[in-house]
Amino acid sequence: MGALNIRGIRKSFGPVDILKGIDIEVEAGEFLILVGPSGCGKSTLLNMIAGLDTPTTGSIHIGDRDVTWLPSKDRDIAMVFQSYALYPNMSVAENIAFALEMRKVPKPERDAAVQRVAAMLQIGHLLDRKPGALSGGQRQRVAMGRALARDPKLFLFDEPLSNLDAKLRVEMRAEIKLLHQRTRTTTVYVTHDQVEAMTLGDRIAVMKDGLVQQFGTPDDIYSRPATRFVAEFIGSPAMNMITAQRGAAGVLSKGVELATNDAQRQALRSGGAELVYGLRPEDLVFADDGLPGTLTMIEPTGPETYLTAETAVGKLTARVPGNAHRRVGDRVHLRWAAEQAHLFDAAGGQRLA
């Protein structure tokens, strides 16, 4: 029995189905990520776990308690909101202690909890301030402190880093990860940012249109994406997608034969004639022979350079470390290994090989 069990959750709003059947089991102490584009249902699912919304059918268990219809305060969970939702009229210390106050915890214990949390998050010097006098990063920490003080069975995060600027986001991401390593509380974290998903999660559920497209470790998701959507969603720059057809001897796209190995050709027989051939940018290398093309765009990022080339099969983006020492307009040749290709059915998007 996992720490959190989501079984058969469906949610409809009249004729519209927001969640079409979600099944996820989370182990104790695990950091689960719910990631997907806006409208995929991840926030709705999180609200149901929190008790702020109810499903049409299905159940949610925390430990072995069925909490599907329990009000929030009985579920022993804490949540960090996107806007932090700190109480503006109370000081930081009062904000952190509020939940304990609602549980009628006596004052000395409340104060001790506040001190403990403040030390952990290094916000001891902010305890008397009001939220209005804090910076974005400080508010984030106070929001986490408020959740920590409860010592709950489950942590929920609803896109907590979206309101921070890029640099701060990287810093806070690391803090959240460190915090999880220390407290080992089961966590569900919602985000639309795939970098956060990959760096923070123990396991990731990629969602689209109310369904989980793939549920696995970051490595699973990255190296063996289950659908075309997952493949394009995770990884930046996105995977190169080449429309192709299954030919007698292999895979053809606009007359060019694309490399395939036996296992792939075997798997292809079960799919349709139309397929999509995917290549990650880092799997493309520049060589003296291979697919010819002309460089149309060069984007240096510092540690790497992204190069886009116009080829017979379409635009392909490659990724090389360091400076590429090339110029727009150069004629290049691209090469890759067949094993590195990801093959998807063109119609349904599911992975073939």
Pick the binder of another protein from 28, 37, 39, 54 (CB under 8 A). 54
Pick the binder of another protein from 73, 184, 224, 254 (CB under 8 A). 73
Contacts of 191 (CB under 8 A, 6+ apart): 33, 34, 35, 157, 159, 161, 162, 197
Report yes or no: 37 and 1 within 8 Å, Cβ to Cβ: no
Residue 98 binds another protein (CB under 8 A): yes
DSSP symbols for 146-202: HHHHT--SEEEEESTTTTS-HHHHHHHHHHHHHHHHHH--EEEEEES-HHHHHHH-S
Residue 81 binds another protein (CB under 8 A): yes
Q: Which sign does the torsion angle of CA 76, 80, 86, 90 carry?
A: positive
Polymer length of the chain: 353
- Nearest distance from C-beta of residue 113 to another protein, angstroms: 13
- Do the strands 304-311 and 291-300 form a parallel or antiparallel pair, or are they unpaired? antiparallel
Q: How far is CA 114 from CA 117, 122, 256, in A?
A: 5, 11, 66
Q: Which sign does the torsion angle of CA 210, 216, 222, 223 carry?
A: negative
- Nearest distance from C-beta of residue 34 to another protein, angstroms: 18
Site string for another protein, 263-292 (x = CB under 8 A): ------------------------------
In the block, residue with structure tokens 């999509």: 276
Name residues contacting another protein, limited to 34-53 (CB under 8 A): 50-53
Size of the site for another protein (CB under 8 A): 26
Angle at CA 159, nearest 5°, toward 158 and 165? 150
Name residues contacting another protein, limited to 142-161 (CB under 8 A): 146, 150
Site string for another protein, 322-351 (x = CB under 8 A): ------------------------------
- Nearest distance from C-beta of residue 74 to another protein, angstroms: 8
- Nearest distance from C-beta of residue 187 to another protein, angstroms: 15
The tokens describing 21, both together, are: 């059947």
Which region among 70-78, 266-274, 285-293, 340-348 touches another protein (by CB under 8 A)?
70-78
Which region among 78-86, 115-123, 169-177, 193-201 touches another protein (by CB under 8 A)?
78-86
Which chain residues interact with another protein by CB under 8 A? Answer: 50-54, 71-74, 77-79, 81-83, 85-89, 98-99, 102-103, 146, 150
